Amino acid sequence: MMIAACQTGYRTKTFVIAGLLAASLWGLGACNKPHADFAYIPELAEHAITLPDGHQIYVQKFEVTIAQWNACHNDGACTEELRPPAGHDAARTPATGLNFSDVSQYLAWINHKSRHSFRLPTSQEWTFMAKPVLPEKADPIFTDPDLRWASAYLTKGLAPRALKDQGAFSTSPEGIADLDGSVWEWTGDCYAGSGVSSNPEKCPAYYVGGEHIAVIPFLVRDPARGGCAVGTPPAHLGFRLVTDEKPA
């Protein structure tokens, strides 16, 4: 009986020590997890976006600027070098004229430099967070079906087209700026056409968010020449980052 009791006590003690050792190793791993480098963390909106399923995402307050983009270029990670229009400050002007491949270069760079995981929003996330600031679809000027073309002609292109500095347009209740501006933003959602598998490795086009959701081929930088949108083509192509975890 004494031997059995000793063996039981020994096993219990062994399990306790093993558990403490595992907890210590887990804690050591957590402590050794690199903290985000806030020198590369962009300014985020004041409040997280709570999606319909309850999941929260943290959204960059402004679109990525020319200055932020050129930091990637100067580091040798982004191919394109951008210049601000005359009279504009690179630190306050959205980076535009970028295709999906360009944006992917920046994402890889910023995730490495910031030691944090950023991504593009999905088209549904973009639509949800932009809804409070986008105008509702206007009623047609003419109700006669034969005059629908006239309604479209008179109302299309009413959204702003000129490239303006960050903060020139509306701010959402969560603190996200310029979702209703002249820059249409790349999302991470692939469009492959009806009946075609949307394999991210071979995706021909992606959704962009703006006045309406549009589809742009992944190598297009000038949307006026290569968009597949119904309605007014996007004026400028840029992007902003989102993350599923608050940087710490």
Q: How far apart are the first and last CA of the chain?
A: 54
**Which 3 state secondary structure label does DSSP give 60?**
strand
- Both tokens assigned to 157: 């292109």
**Which 3 state secondary structure label does DSSP give 209?**
strand
Report the chain's mean pLDDT, rounded to a whole number. Answer: 82
Element (H, E) at 49: strand 49-50
Tell me, what's the pLDDT at 59?
98
CA separation, residue 219 to residues 97, 136, 189, 225, 226 (Å) = 11, 31, 15, 11, 9
Contact 213, 234 (CB under 8 A): no
DSSP state of 44: B
pLDDT tens string 107-162: 999 999 999 999 999 999 999 999 999 987 644 444 455 544 344 444 454 567 89
- Residues 6 or more apart whose CB falls under 8 angstroms from that of 22 comprise none
- Residue 11's identity, in one-letter code, is R
Query: What number is the average pLDDT over the span 184-195?
Result: 87
Tell me, what's the pLDDT at 233?
78
Q: pTM to 2 decimals?
A: 0.78
Q: pLDDT above 70 covers what percent of the chain?
A: 72
Q: Which residue is listed with tokens 């597949």?
A: 228
Judge whether residue 216 has pLDDT over 90: yes
pLDDT tens string 14-68: 433 444 344 344 344 444 567 999 999 999 999 999 999 999 999 999 999 999 9
Measured distance CA(108)–CA(114) in Å, rounded: 10
Measured distance CA(67)–CA(45) in Å, rounded: 19
- Both tokens assigned to 77: 């990670």
Contact 164, 180 (CB under 8 A): no
- Phi/psi of residue 42, nearest 5 degrees: -70, 160
Measured distance CA(208)–CA(96) in Å, rounded: 13
Q: Which of 238, 231, 47, 237 is nearest to 129 (CA)?
A: 47
Judge whether residue 228 has pLDDT over 60: no
Measured distance CA(32)–CA(27) in Å, rounded: 8
Contact 192, 203 (CB under 8 A): yes
Tell me, what's the pLDDT at 231?
61
